[in-house]
A and B are shown apart, each in its own frame.
Chain A
Amino acid sequence: MENLELFEGSLEVEKITNGWYDKYKNSNYGAIITFIGVVRDENKIDGLSFDIYEPILNNWFNSWQEKAKELKAIVLMAHSRGDVFNHESSYIAAVCSPKRRIALELIDEFVEDFKAQAPIWKYDIINGDRIYAEDRSTAIKGYGLLS
């Protein structure tokens, strides 16, 4: 699962994105698009904190890798677990594709589907407390099966 990397705490953005670029720049991908998520200072938070359920995240990521492969592209992702403070990065996604248009469309779909389906839970860090970000969370497709 080398194209999906999980880290404790904030992401070392330059190291991760430079690493991806160095690894794939000679693979004849004409377009490499990187999306970097940065924690905003808002709602009096000191930062965000994350729980991840890895087995289902791996399945989700693998299905995206298969989808990208059909388009001769690849997807890459890095995410934090635990605490990430304001103005640091918790999430990086990237697409490498021979074609620009495919890369642009795929990064959009990949990031949006990540938001809606990836088994990651977000908490606001406020005065040292960890508060579930319920109002910004999305129920996973098929929710309510036991209701």
Chain B
Amino acid sequence: MSATSAPLAHVTSVPGRSSRLRALVRMPGAVAGIAILVIVAAVAIGAPLFVHSYDLDVTKVNGPLLHAPTGAYPLGTDQSGRSELLLLAWGSRPSLLIGIIATALTMVLGTVIGLLAGHYQGIVGRLLMTVTDWFIVLPSLPLAIALSAVMGEGDTSITIAIAVTSWASTARLLRAQTLAVEARPFIERAKALGASNTQIMVRQVLPNVVPLILVSATLTVAGAILDQATLTFLGLGNPTEVSWGSMLNTAFANGDITAGAWWTLVPPGLAILVVVLGFSLTGRAVERVLNPRLAVER
């Protein structure tokens, strides 16, 4: 492959924390990304404060049905007369929650297997890598569809399906990083001093791969949110739950777009776009900060 670029391990000087923060702030992409995440988190966590049960209960709302945006309803109303703005705010919760949980599962699985595969170079390592490679090769959406069909529709099966189809690339990345870290002299020293395998992996390797895990996790959340939207759109989610994916599914299935009700279609998609961008920009920025060499090159 590319024989010219050196792996991350060969960074010798690690800049101080304050200079890292300063570097972060100077990047416009980072500022935008973090700002987006902060706003979205605020909306998601604070949603129960301004979205009440009677805003979501179709038997209690009395807004006009499928109406274009007006003063009272800034983003219009849906089929049942609920405010699209409030639905959008409320829908951020499952969308983000599923994304985060799926990512957590992915990272745990990917890290464990990546570390093991990188550390145990022999049969165990190769076996793990074969399994990982096999998972990477499997086309992800057909696999997710198959899993969801087996486990039944709903949030749990979507979360598991996303985790199953995403862990492999994380594992591969972490294995490469583990290999790089273990090539450093201090690992040899630890081995010479009689450290056990677990100690080496947990105490020596893990702290050095944490930056990559953080970056990878941030970027994986972005993908998981996209996946949740796609799987829900295909009908594999919970249709009565309000999430961005289900809002789009409903808009398409009800024929809202044919009726010209763009306000049911555009806001949820834009919300997904913005959140995913937020995670991507933040992840990229964090990566640059934690790995100055890449920052120079890029």
Binding between chains A and B: no
Chain B residues near A (Cβ < 8 Å): none
